[in-house]
Structure 1
Amino acid sequence: MESVLEQQRSAHEEIERLEQAIVDQYMNQPKTQKERLENEHVVNKFLNKITEKSQQLYDLYEDKDGARKKEIDALATTSDTFGDFYERLRVIKDHHRKYPNEFVVPSELQFIIQERQKLEDGSEEAELDTLFSGEEGNGRFLDLNPLYTQYINLKHIKRVDYLAYLSNFDDFKGSYPKETKTTADYRNYLTALQSYLESFFARAKPLYNLDALREKSKEKFESDWKEKKVPGWEKKLGEEEEAAPELFCIACQKQFSKQTVFDGHLTGKKHIKAQKQLLEQKGPNLDQAEIEKARQKALEEKEDKDKPVAWQEVLISSYVDALSSHREDTKANVERKQALTDRERAIEQEQEDHELVENESDDDDEDKIYNPLKLPLGWDGKPIPYWLYKLHGLGVEYPCEICGDFVYMGRKAFDKHFQEWRHAHGMRALGIPNTRHFHEITQIDDAYTLWDKLKKKGRADEFKADTLEEFEDAEGNVFNKKTYEDLKRQGIL
Structure 2
Amino acid sequence: MESILEQQRKAHEEIERLEQAIVEQFINEPKTHKERLSREHRVSDFLDRISSRSKFLYDLYDDSDNARKAEIDALSGTSEFSEFYGRLKAIKDYHRRYPNETVEPLELEFINQSKLLGEDDELDKLFSGEEGCGRFLDLHALHEQYVNLKNVKKIDYLTYLSEFDNFADYPKENKHGEYIKYLNDLRSYLESFFKRVKPLSNLDDIKKEVEVDFDQKWKDGIFPGWLRPIGEEISHNLFCVACKKGYTKKTVFDAHLKSKKHIKAANSMMEQGVTSVDQETQTKLIKEAEDAKDKREKDVAFNEALIQKYSEILGSQREDTKANVERKRALTDRERRMELEAEEVDDVESESEDEDKIYNPLKLPLGWDGKPIPYWLYKLHGLGVEYPCEICGNYVYMGRKAFDRHFQEWRHAHGMRCLGIPNTRHFHEITLIEDAYALWEKLKSSGKSDEFKADTMEEFEDQEGNVFNKKTYDDLKRQGLL
- The interval holding the TM-score normalised by the smaller chain is 0.5 to 0.7
Q: Which runs of 4+ in 1 moved over 6 A?
A: 113-116
- Show the counterpart of 2:211: 218
- Show the counterpart of 1:143: 138
How far has the Cα of 1:115 moved from its partner?
Answer: 9.4
Letter aligned with residue 26 of structure 2: Y
How far has the Cα of 1:162 moved from its partner?
Answer: 1.4
- Show the counterpart of 2:4: 4
SS of the equivalent of 1:387 reads: coil
Contact 1:249 1:255 in 2 (8 A): yes
Matches of 2:112 and 2:305, distance apart in 1: 39
Cα shift readout 1:403-426 (whole Å, capped 9, x = no counterpart): xxxxxxxxxxxxxxxxxxxxxxxx
- Show the counterpart of 1:387: 373
Cα shift readout 1:330-358 (whole Å, capped 9, x = no counterpart): 22222232223232233334445555289
Match of 2:254 among 251, 263, 269: 263
Match of 1:163 among 151, 158, 162: 158
TM-score (norm 1): 0.65
Identity across the alignment (%): 53
Contact 2:127 2:134 in 1 (8 A): yes
Matches of 1:334 and 1:207, distance apart in 2: 28
Match of 1:230 among 211, 223, 230: 223
Contact 1:18 1:108 in 2 (8 A): no
SS of the equivalent of 2:26 reads: helix
Match of 1:187 among 176, 180, 199: 180
Contact 1:157 1:177 in 2 (8 A): no
- Show the counterpart of 1:51: 51
Matches of 1:200 and 1:65, distance apart in 2: 43
Matches of 2:290 and 2:376, distance apart in 1: 65
How far has the Cα of 1:10 moved from its partner?
Answer: 0.9
Letter aligned with residue 131 of structure 1: L
Cα shift readout 1:446-466 (whole Å, capped 9, x = no counterpart): xxxxxxxxxxxxxxxxxxxxx
- Show the counterpart of 1:316: 307
Matched, 1:206 2:199: yes
| Structure (1 or 2) with the larger CA radius of gyration | 1
Matches of 2:208 and 2:328, distance apart in 1: 38
SS of the equivalent of 1:233 reads: coil
Corresponding pairs, count: 361
- Show the counterpart of 2:78: 79
Contact 2:17 2:110 in 1 (8 A): no
How far has the Cα of 1:257 moved from its partner?
Answer: 1.2
How far has the Cα of 1:81 moved from its partner?
Answer: 5.1
Contact 2:242 2:262 in 1 (8 A): yes
Matched, 1:272 2:263: yes
- Show the counterpart of 1:301: 292
Residues 98, 344 of structure 1: alpha-carbon distance in 2 compared, 3 angstrom cutoff: same
How far has the Cα of 1:200 moved from its partner?
Answer: 0.9
Higher relative contact order (CA 8 A, sep 6+): 2
Matches of 1:320 and 1:64, distance apart in 2: 46
How far has the Cα of 1:303 moved from its partner?
Answer: 2.0
Cα shift readout 1:81-119 (whole Å, capped 9, x = no counterpart): 555555544544444454446322427827957997x97
SS of the equivalent of 2:304 reads: helix
Matched, 1:32 2:3: no
Cα shift readout 1:326-385 (whole Å, capped 9, x = no counterpart): 11222222223222323223333444555528949xxxxxxxxxxxxxxxxxxxxxx995
- Show the counterpart of 1:416: none
SS of the equivalent of 2:135 reads: coil
- Show the counterpart of 1:254: 245
Residues 187, 390 of structure 1: alpha-carbon distance in 2 compared, 3 angstrom cutoff: farther
- Show the counterpart of 1:42: 42
Match of 1:291 among 258, 282, 289: 282
Matches of 2:243 and 2:207, distance apart in 1: 37
Matches of 2:133 and 2:145, distance apart in 1: 24
Matches of 1:144 and 1:205, distance apart in 2: 18
How far has the Cα of 1:143 moved from its partner?
Answer: 0.9
- Show the counterpart of 1:471: none
Residues 115, 157 of structure 1: alpha-carbon distance in 2 compared, 3 angstrom cutoff: farther
Matches of 1:49 and 1:214, distance apart in 2: 24
Matches of 1:270 and 1:71, distance apart in 2: 71
- Show the counterpart of 2:334: 343
SS of the equivalent of 1:196 reads: helix
- Consecutive unaligned residues of structure 2, counting only runs of 5 or more, are 352-368, 381-482
Cα shift readout 1:39-72 (whole Å, capped 9, x = no counterpart): 1222122222212211211111111221101112
Residues 300-449 of structure 1: matches in 2 within 5 Å?
300-353=291-344, 355-356=346-347, 359=350, 385=371, 387-388=373-374, 391=377
Residues 390, 291 of structure 1: alpha-carbon distance in 2 compared, 3 angstrom cutoff: farther
SS of the equivalent of 1:170 reads: coil
How far has the Cα of 1:315 moved from its partner?
Answer: 2.0
Contact 1:4 1:60 in 2 (8 A): yes
- Show the counterpart of 2:167: 172
How far has the Cα of 1:280 moved from its partner?
Answer: 5.5
- Consecutive unaligned residues of structure 1, counting only runs of 5 or more, are 120-124, 361-382, 395-493
SS of the equivalent of 1:234 reads: coil
Letter aligned with residue 79 of structure 1: T
